Amino acid sequence: MRIKPLRLGPVTLPSNVVMAPMAGYTCYPFRMLCQEMGAGLCFTEMVSANALKYQDRANRQLLFTTPAERVKAAQLLGGDPQIVEKAACGPLLAGFDLIDLNMGCPTPNVFKSGQGSALLADLPRAEALIRACKRSGKLISVKFRIGIRADEPVAAEFARMCEQAGADLISIHGRSRSMMYDGPPCWEQIQLAKAAVSIPVLANGGIASPEDAAWMMERTGADGVMIGRYALENPYIFAQLTGRRVVKSRSALLLEQMALASRYYDEPFVLSYIRSLASYLMKKRRGTKGYKQKMYQCGGLEELETLIRAAFREEEPL
């Protein structure tokens, strides 16, 4: 695929390959890894606008960043424009350059409360949320699905609304809420949405190789791609796409993530994050069988480190 910088107002993203926001994974250490690999942008996982008023430890952890993160992007989940505006203008988001509004989360609790993908059926509210967020003066992006049901797509109409409300960027997950995370993405809907707007569009869903990324760009005409689960399995995808040379084995990468996470987060968080990331990195890897269970049973970080070294002992040097 053609790699190019993406201009968003005063900010230029170094590349048009972007890491998707993912709950449980896109903490500060993982975002730094993606940046190093060449990703142009990485978002925090979704943070509830409602919960931000508490400024508690959990939210501060989710929104932790440092000046080393070049472009800082936080994702907000909310359904009430006033609450979202307060969160966007509040102290916890003060250091962020960009706020992404989650309009795609399919989970029943989120949907029932009128947030996430429920907004695909409530354009006036979605528009009010974007306008409210825009009052923070930050760059605003919106991540949404093609519709609630696959046979009632709204992607183009929704994209137009986002642009009119002032969004600077949109990311479209080419699946409907009813498809959850499975099935081939409907690239035609992303193509229609791209043709309907002039702001940059990122295409997301089912990209599992550099060839898939090129295919998605070609089919949709999108300005860039956003990669989710496959980037957890193979974070090197960003280096493969951008041509960046990264010499770091999977085990070295995991141990580095563990060290970085330990510097900023408490041990339960680090254990949970490293176990989950290791599970993805071990997918389809020779010699790693049985280690996932052992890692979930182990008691602490030292033991986890030993297991990581053992699981990847057959790893070929890069």
Strand partners, 46: 75
- Residues forming the active site: 105
CB of 13 to ligand FMN, least distance (A): 17
Choose between 92 and 252: whose C-beta lies nearer to ligand FMN: 92
Choose between 81 and 206: whose C-beta lies nearer to ligand FMN: 206
Choose between 60 and 313: whose C-beta lies nearer to ligand FMN: 60
Choose between 83 and 101: whose C-beta lies nearer to ligand FMN: 101
Tokens read off for 241: 């796409």
CB of 73 to ligand FMN, least distance (A): 11
Quickly count: other Cβ atoms within 10 Å of residue 254's Cβ.
22
Exposure class string for 196-230: b at 16+ Cβ within 10 A, else e: bbebbbbbbbbbeeeebbebbbeebebbbbbbbbb
CB distance 44 to 293 below 8 Å: no
Tokens read off for 130: 């974007």
CB of 106 to ligand FMN, least distance (A): 9
CB of 180 to ligand FMN, least distance (A): 9
Q: Which residue is nearest to ligand FMN (CB)?
A: 228
- DSSP-derived secondary structure for 171-189: EEESS-GGGTT-S---HHH
CB of 280 to ligand FMN, least distance (A): 10
Q: Name the E strands within the chain.
A: 6-8, 11-13, 17-19, 41-48, 73-77, 98-103, 139-145, 169-173, 201-204, 224-227
Choose between 104 and 200: whose C-beta lies nearer to ligand FMN: 104
CB of 208 to ligand FMN, least distance (A): 8
CB distance 106 to 116 below 8 Å: yes
Burial level of 121, CB count in 10 A (0-12/13-18/19+)? middle
Distance from first CA to last CA of the chain, Å, rounded?
A: 23
Distance in angstroms (rounded) separating the CA atoms of residues 213 and 239:
13
- DSSP-derived secondary structure for 71-105: S-EEEEE-S-HHHHHHHHHSGGGTT-SEEEEEE--
- Site residues for ligand FMN per CB under 6 A: 20-24, 45-46, 75, 102, 104-105, 143, 173, 181, 204-207, 227-230
Choose between 229 and 248: whose C-beta lies nearer to ligand FMN: 229
Distance in angstroms (rounded) separating the CA atoms of residues 129 and 51:
16
Choose between 9 and 24: whose C-beta lies nearer to ligand FMN: 24
CB of 156 to ligand FMN, least distance (A): 19
